[in-house]
Chain A
Amino acid sequence: MEARTEAAPAIARAPTWVLVAVPLALIAAAIGLIAALGGPGLDERRGPPVEELAVERTVLRPGEIQLSVRNTGPDAVEVAQVAVNDAYVAFAADPDGDVGRLSEQKLTLEYPWQEGGAYTISMLTSTGATIEHIIDVAVETPDTGIGFYGLMTLLGTYVGVIPVILGMLFMPALRRVSEDWVRLFMAVTVGLLGFLVIDGSLEGLEIGGEASGAFGGPELLFLGAALAYLALTAVDRRLKRGVERRRAKGEGAYRLSLMVAIGIGLHNLGEGLAIGSAYAVGSVALGAFFVIGFALHNTTEGFAIVAPLARAGRPGFIRLLALGLIAGAPAILGAVIGAGAYNQELATFLIGVGVGAIVQVIGQLLPSIRDREGQALHPLSIAGLIAGGAILYATSLLVSV
């Protein structure tokens, strides 16, 4: 240390903030210089401009089609003309002119579309390139008024809150069964949750793959999952400390149950999002079958929440209701977001949050399926895991959004 101090006395004496600020300033100056000089020594890109537009939102109103487009390519794009099903249409652009990188433009097309029709919208740019957007089935976009949000709240309640609370009705039965049966039910729960992880990951990757790419795609799933996993772990540590301080009987079980409820709640946020957006674009018919399917599917989630409470003290009604709402109510929020402001990036991220949360919860539940020798995988738990996965697989067939 002594020798180095003598070699560079000025650096050694400088305060730490200067040692951070000087490199930062040099980096900024170098980047600024390169930008100002336009990358000296480097040619422009070879070939014609790369023109990309992603349609982020499509709104259908009588006699008109509105597209919100975002430039996801490196070069500016100007939409010169627009054809719908091979016919040029009158349209207005807001703002007018070029769309810069990552900028947005709203195109309002005058077109007498018919309900149920399929439409290919071809945007012809100033250079003659064509960018296509397909509307598979034209359905008027619902007005996002009070009534609409009311409907989404009802929908979220039907598919989220009610089934979860119904599932929790297994609680009294659970309290009577033997240790082995509790272990079995916990294994079933882990199986259920494991299926949700796989199901959610696949769905998130699919939706992420369809994203415009301007703000990322499938990686948002992993980002969301990691964030949720770490955040829930932090919450869990907090709760554990609280439990240890109070040393209350059964508090450990409630903590576990709360963690499961939170994990499932975050999962249901993504599920509500999918339902709301599917409803908004008319790709799902709300009806008894739809609601019954989700009810059966999500009832199993209610079971998962109460399973850890089998050996806890008699739980209060309010406490159980709160757990149910934590797990179910996010479906309402998800449905509202999905129907009102859906985009693939947000959906991928939120589904990722659900996946990460459930992975975290599975980690929490695993100790409770260990037998007296400490083995997690014994005949009973294996049967439970398989049963849980199979139940969710079967009920998921009833609800394909």
Chain B
Amino acid sequence: MPLLHQFVPHHGLHEALEGARAAEHGSGHGTGGSSALHGGGAAGPTFRPGKTVDHAANGFHPTEMLRDFDWGKTRRLASGRVLREWTLLAGDKEIEVAPGVHYPAWAYNGRVPGPTLRAREGDLLRVRFVNGSEHPHTIHFHGLHPAEMDGVPGVGAGLIDRGGETTYEFIAEPFGLHLYHCHAGPLAEHIARGLYGAFVVDPKQGRPDADELVMVMNGFNTNFDAEGNQTYAVNTVAFHYVNEPVAVERRSPVRIYLANLLEFDPLNSFHIHANFFDYYPTGTRLEPSEFTDTIVQAQAQRGILELEFPYVGDYMFHAHKTEFAELGWMGFFRVGGDRERQRQPAAFHDPVRDEGESA
């Protein structure tokens, strides 16, 4: 902005925008701080100042989603195997994907992406699927399982009509970062509308402790022209992590479960500023394939990123397909010292692993 001031007269606009920004600050929105003012003109892309997404109306919050792992209803069977049970309900729901922009989504459990299901390799998983939507749906899991549990039309339970239900049951394998999504036709629309989520299978021995984050790269073709998307994001709300940076701790391990569910565009990418990460494609090997700051994923590709931040401060991350970045897929990490350590929500901890066997 100082440069703009120096060279270019633009007073009328400035007053209009500053007024809106002042209103935004006054509302106490987000984490505040300098990044709430990020963007505008040469300072980069941004949404209209003073307008925010109503997360309460959406029923989910991208910041909370980051560390929200759902281990299911868990018990150990007589055989010694751990059983995890979930119920996923498909429904039709209008969500706000950018300030003031509403999208008629189809969602699992009322959120896009759906809940991050987490298990350990070898666990028995039982996913009850209830279709409360107007349209037929399925859940198709990536992983190893018999054909009748594959959640595609015409095989096993096939399409589940409105009001119907089925239960998908299989063993969690292999370990890694996987996905689940609806496989009803037209497939592109059923995915684009929001019926997808991350599915984390930990290795038997677990992974080293880290601040774990789930990032599902997605976008919304709000005008339904099936030619690209109008908004791009991580975890649905465009530019959310610009307004509310992801708080992490300096010199502390961070693990990102990154998946690409973007429809209509062939590739997506992830780039972090001033840092490098170990990349584990699909998370199915314990040795990283690459030490880099940029990776590319086609749809349904996913991987695990492990990194530490050596310095405090705000670090941008975004798609290095800059078009996506400027249409909303952009955010910041806010690296704090020890005092600002992020408390891990209870959901992070595997109840079986941490509390021993339960009934």
B98 in contact with A81 (CB, 8 Å): yes
Q: Which of A55-91 contact B (CB under 8 A)?
A: 61-64, 78, 80-83, 86-91
A47 on the interface (CB 8 Å rule)? no
In the bound complex, CA of A64 to CA of B12 (Å):
10
Q: How far is the CA of A353 from the CA of B216 in the complex (A)?
A: 61
B102 & A127 in contact (Cβ 8 Å cutoff) = yes
B8 part of interface (Cβ distance < 8 Å): yes
How far does the Cβ of B171 sit from chain A's closest Cβ, in whole Å? 41
Q: A63-B41, A81-B101 are in contact. Are A89 and B13 (CB under 8 A)?
A: no
- Name the B residues within 8 Å of A23 (CB-CB): none
- Separation of A398 and B220 alpha carbons in the complex (Å): 50
| Interface assignment of A103: CB less than 8 Å from any CB of chain B | no
Residue A124 lies at the interface, judged by CB distance under 8 Å to chain B:
yes
Give residues of chain B (79-131) contacting chain A, Cβ–Cβ below 8 Å: 97-103
User: In the bound complex, what is the Cα–Cα distance between A50 and B13 (angstroms)?
Assistant: 30
Q: What are the interface flags for A83-112 relative to B under an 8 Å C-beta threshold, 1 for contact and 0 otherwise? A: 100111111111000000000000010111
Which B residues lie within 8 Å of A90 (CB)?
A: 17, 39-41, 46-49
Q: Does B223 contact A (CB under 8 A)?
A: yes
Cβ B327 vs Cβ A110 within 8 A: no
Measured CB to CB, the residues of A under 8 A from B are: 61-64, 78, 80-83, 86-94, 108, 110-112, 122, 124-130
Q: Which one of A62, A80, A88, A128 lies within 8 Å of B45 (CB-CB)?
A: A88
Alpha-carbon gap, A83 to B20, bound state (A): 18
| Interchain CB contact under 8 A, A83 and B223 | no
Distance in angstroms between the alpha carbons of A108 and B20 in the assembled complex: 13
Closest to B9 in A: A62
Interface residue? B10 (CB, 8 A): yes
Give me the interface of B with A, judged by CB distance under 8 Å. Answer: 4, 7-10, 12-13, 16-17, 20, 39-42, 45-49, 51, 97-103, 220, 222-224, 230-231, 238-239, 323, 326-328
Q: How far is the CA of A80 from the CA of B7 in the complex (A)?
A: 30
Inter-chain contact A124/B4, CB cutoff 8 Å: no
Query: A69 → chain B, closest Cβ, in Å?
Result: 15
Q: Smallest CB–CB gap between B131 and chain A, Å?
A: 24
Contact of B48 (CB < 8 Å), options: A64, A81, A112, A129: A81
Closest beta carbon of chain B to A77's beta carbon, Å: 12
A108-B16, A110-B13 are known contacts. Are A89 and B45 too (CB-CB below 8 A)?
yes
Q: Given contacts A89-B41, A92-B13, could you give 13 more A-B pairs where the C-beta distance is less than 8 Å?
A: A62-B10, A80-B48, A80-B99, A83-B327, A88-B239, A89-B40, A92-B16, A92-B20, A108-B12, A125-B101, A126-B102, A127-B102, A129-B223
- In the complex, what distance in Å separates the CA atom of A126 from the CA atom of B103? 9
In the complex, the 9 A-B pairs of residues with the closest C-beta atoms, listed nearest first: A128-B222, A80-B100, A87-B326, A92-B16, A90-B40, A62-B8, A87-B45, A110-B41, A63-B8
A64 pairs with B98, CB closer than 8 A: no
User: Do most interface residues of chain A lie in helix, strand or loop, or is the interface mixed?
Assistant: strand
Chain A proximity of B313: nearest CB distance (Å): 24
A144 to chain B, nearest CB (A): 16
- The CA of A124 and the CA of B47, in the complex, are separated in Å by 11
From the candidates B4, B46, B103, B231, name the one contacting A89 in the complex (CB within 8 A): B46
Contact partner of B222 (CB less than 8 A), chosen from A86, A112, A130, is: A130
Alpha-carbon distance A172/B239, docked complex (angstroms): 76
Q: Could you write out 17 A-B pairs with CB less than 8 Å apart? A: A62-B7, A81-B47, A81-B101, A83-B326, A86-B323, A86-B327, A89-B45, A90-B41, A90-B46, A92-B16, A92-B20, A108-B13, A110-B40, A124-B101, A127-B222, A128-B223, A129-B223
* Contacting pair A88 B327 (CB below 8 A): yes
- Asked if A63 and B4 make an inter-chain contact with CB atoms under 8 angstroms apart, the answer reads yes
In whole angstroms, what is the CA distance A78 to B101 when docked?
A: 9
CB contacts (< 8 Å) of B12 on chain A: these are 108
Other-chain contact of A88, B10, B46, B102, B224 (Cβ < 8 Å)? B46
Contact call B220/A128, Cβ cutoff below 8 A: yes
CB distance from B157 to the nearest CB of A (A): 33
Among B7, B97, B326, chain A packs the most CB atoms within 10 A around the CB of: B326
Q: Which residues of B contact A78 (CB under 8 A)?
A: 100
Determine the distance from Cα of A112 to Cα of B43 in the docked complex, in whole angstroms: 10
Report B231 CB to chain A, min CB distance, Å: 8
Closest residue of B by beta carbon distance from A112: B42
CB-contact partner of A128 in B41, B49, B101, under 8 A: B101
> Across the interface, do B327 and A87 meet the contact criterion of CB distance under 8 Å?
yes
- A80-B4 in contact (CB<8A): no
> Are B41 and A112 within 8 A (Cβ)?
yes
* Known A-B contacts A86-B323, A88-B45, A110-B41; A130 and B10 likewise in contact (beta carbons under 8 Å): no
In contact, B102 and A128 (Cβ under 8 angstroms): yes
For residue A321, give the distance in angstroms from its CB to the closest CB of chain B.
Answer: 44
Complex contacts, B45 vs chain A, CB 8 Å: 87-89
Q: Contact: B10 with A124, CB < 8 Å? A: no
Interfacial chain B residues near A126, Cβ < 8 Å: 100-102
* Closest chain B residue, CB of each to CB of A65: B13
The interface residues of chain A lying within 8 Å CB-to-CB of B238 are 88
Across-interface contacts of A94 in B (CB, < 8 A): 16
